[in-house]
């Protein structure tokens, strides 16, 4: 059975987004762990970024996914591509980067919650 172009695009999109999520979780785990050195962080981030680059790049509609991708690229630039990145620099940026990741998670979760005052309006609209 041959897949349609739309099915293939959807599959590639899902895999790309899953890879972005996986990278963000790994980054958060490494930033949270005090025993991770800057060298370990750079090696792991470079490996994760390489896997992301191997995926077919897709257009991201959601603001969360766009910002997540920009965050990963920016973090890769300031860590992996920076020759002077060391343990002291890593410790300096650790808290700030965890805050940025938390802000991204809030952006993601903000779409799934509605205020209670709006829920009752939607519920009573069907009753008539």
Q: What is the pLDDT of residues 42-83, one digit of tens each?
A: 999 999 999 999 998 899 988 899 999 999 999 999 998 888
Smallest CA-to-CA distance from 99 within 71, 61, 63 is with: 71
Whether the full predicted model's pTM is greater than 0.95, yes or no, is no
Smallest CA-to-CA distance from 71 within 89, 55, 48 is with: 48
Given a contact cutoff of 8 angstroms between Cβ atoms, the answer to whether 76 and 45 are in contact is yes
Per-residue pLDDT at 120 exceeds 80: no
E strand segments, 8-83? none
Break the chain into its structural domains and give their ranges. Answer: 7-108
Cβ neighbours for 41, distance < 8 A, ≥ 6 positions apart? 30, 79, 90
Kindly report the average pLDDT of the chain as a whole number: 87
Per-residue pLDDT at 20 exceeds 70: yes
| pLDDT > 70: percent of the chain | 86
DSSP state of 113: -
């Amino acid at each position: 059975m041959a897949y349609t172009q739309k099915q293939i695009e959807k599959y590639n999109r899902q895999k790309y987004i899953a890879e972005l999520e996986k990278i963000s979780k790994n980054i958060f785990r490494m930033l949270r762990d005090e025993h991770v050195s800057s060298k370990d962080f750079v090696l792991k981030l470079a490996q994760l970024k390489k896997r992301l680059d191997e995926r077919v790049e897709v257009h991201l509609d959601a603001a969360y996914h766009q910002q997540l991708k920009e965050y990963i690229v920016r973090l890769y630039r300031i860590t992996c591509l920076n020759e002077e990145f060391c343990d002291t620099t890593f410790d300096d940026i650790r808290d700030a980067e965890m805050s940025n990741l938390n802000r991204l998670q809030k952006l993601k979760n903000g779409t799934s919650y509605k205020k209670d005052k709006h829920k009752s309006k939607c519920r009573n609209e069907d009753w008539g």
